[in-house]
Each structure stands twice: as C-alpha cells, then as structure tokens.
C-alpha cells in the first residue's frame, strides 16, 4: 500500500526534484499528497500549504529540504502527529539541534547533513586518513550554488566531526577565517566556502605535510543523488520507532 508523503520546502529546487522522482521512480511505494512552503499554490493536483494546521490529507511521512525555520515548524507538526520525518536541511543553531533531539523522543527522525551515500563513504575515508597522516594540516574546501545561505556547509562540518571523533576531539575548528594575520593552530581544521553559480555540491578534504599532500574529493553531479537518498530514508524510517537515524543505518 502506498504511503502518503508531505514535502517541506516543496517550492524549492530539491522539493521539485523530490516530487518528480517519487512520481516516476517510486510511484508504487510513495505518493506526494501535499507540500509545505511559504507560498500556497497548487501544482500538478497537489496543494502546497503555507500553514500546516490547514492540511486535510493523511500524512505518513515528511521529507524536509527547506530552511531551519521551516524545518522546526514541520518538526513540531511531526511531533504532535507522531509522523516520521526526514530532515535534509542544514544550518541549525545549537538550540534548534536540541529541539530536534528532544522531538526524537516522540517520533522517528532521519537526519543527515548530506543524503549522498558517497559522502558517507568519504566520511569514513577521511576519518581513517586523519589517523595515519600524523601532524598533517587539515583544510576543508566546499563549494555550492549562490543561493545557499549557511556557510560552511553542513556536510563540511559532518566531515570535520568524523575526523575529530576519530582523534578523540583534539581538533578545533576555524569556521570563518578573517583577515587577521596569524599562523594556523597546530590542531586546527580550517574551512573555506565558495558560493557561485549553480554548483550542486563539492567537498575536498586536504591533508598537507611539509613533503606531501593528499586530497579527497566528492562532487555531486546531479540533485537526483540527494533526492533519491532522502526518499530511501523516508521508506526506511516508516517502520522505525522514535529516535534519531542517519545514513549509516541504511547501509
């Protein structure tokens, strides 16, 4: 039996991609019955709500590709209705992260800064590399389209956290490099962000010593990659108990 999907951020590029992909490739398992965005409209027979309290359709799962503010609204709705939710949005504050964690006591939440399986393979690779590249300077460079608001990206932080966990938390993060003239710290992970054109998503982790450099890079070629990952996460989380789930749970 098909499960009914609500897409949060349905008017955005990822929301449109999700609707297209579910209709074509996952039509036997899922059906998009409603959307949520700041502007109400009707698209392909599906109503996009600007107020979740007005939703009339039965919702089985929510997929969220939106903004932190919209995510928290969708999360509150999911919590009240006990609906599983996939959160693919990034850029949350510490307080918002705590709200997500608290909500996981009431419903199943699949949360990942990146819905690409390849990025999660890269996460393991950079963590292992960091343990053998003793004393290497570590820099993370990420590039996205000019409409992305958060910087550095959630994926860049995801990769840095994987490295830090593998090394007992010894690294500090230099998230926003300024013009201040000073040498980098010994155990520092530096970040650099590029926002230009329609770049879908590129992440490079650099390990540099005095005599050699290792660069590990992931480049997304199409937004379908992220949409498909989120859809698979939605199918998975439909059968889960309340709690937080991530990409490793799909492997």
Active site residues: 144, 148
State the DSSP code for 60.
S
> Three-class SS string for 97-125?
HHHHHHHCCCCEEEECCCCCHHHHHHHHH
Name the one residue in this structure whose structure tokens are 């690779």: 125
Question: Rounded to whole angstroms, how far apart are CA atoms 91 and 217?
Answer: 22
CA distances from 153 to 21, 36, 143 (A): 25, 24, 9
State the DSSP code for 167.
T
Partners of residue 126 on adjacent β-strands: none
């Amino acid at each position: 039996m098909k499960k009914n999907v609500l897409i949060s951020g349905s008017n955005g590029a990822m929301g449109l991609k999700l609707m297209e992909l579910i209709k074509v490739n996952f039509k036997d398992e899922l059906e998009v019955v409603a959307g949520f965005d700041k502007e109400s409209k009707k698209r392909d027979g599906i109503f996009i709500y600007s107020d979740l309290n007005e939703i009339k359709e039965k919702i089985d799962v929510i997929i969220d590709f939106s903004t932190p503010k919209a995510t928290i609204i969708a999360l509150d709705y999911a919590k009240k209705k006990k609906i599983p939710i996939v959160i693919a949005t990034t850029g949350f504050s510490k307080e918002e992260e705590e709200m997500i964690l608290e909500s996981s006591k009431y419903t199943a939440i699949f949360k990942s800064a990146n819905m690409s399986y390849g990025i999660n393979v890269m996460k393991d690779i950079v963590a292992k590399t960091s343990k053998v590249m003793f004393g290497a300077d570590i820099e993370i460079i990420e590039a996205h389209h000019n409409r992305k608001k958060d910087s550095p990206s959630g994926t860049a932080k995801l990769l840095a956290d994987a490295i830090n966990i593998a090394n007992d938390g010894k690294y500090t993060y230099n998230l926003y490099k300024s013009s201040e003239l000073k040498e980098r710290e010994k155990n520092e992970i530096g970040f650099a962000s590029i926002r230009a054109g329609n770049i879908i998503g590129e992440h490079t982790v650099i390990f540099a010593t005095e005599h050699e450099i290792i660069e590990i890079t992931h480049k997304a070629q199409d937004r379908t990659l992220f949409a498909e990952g989120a859809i698979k996460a939605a199918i998975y989380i439909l059968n889960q108990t309340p709690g937080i789930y991530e990409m490793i749970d799909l492997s």
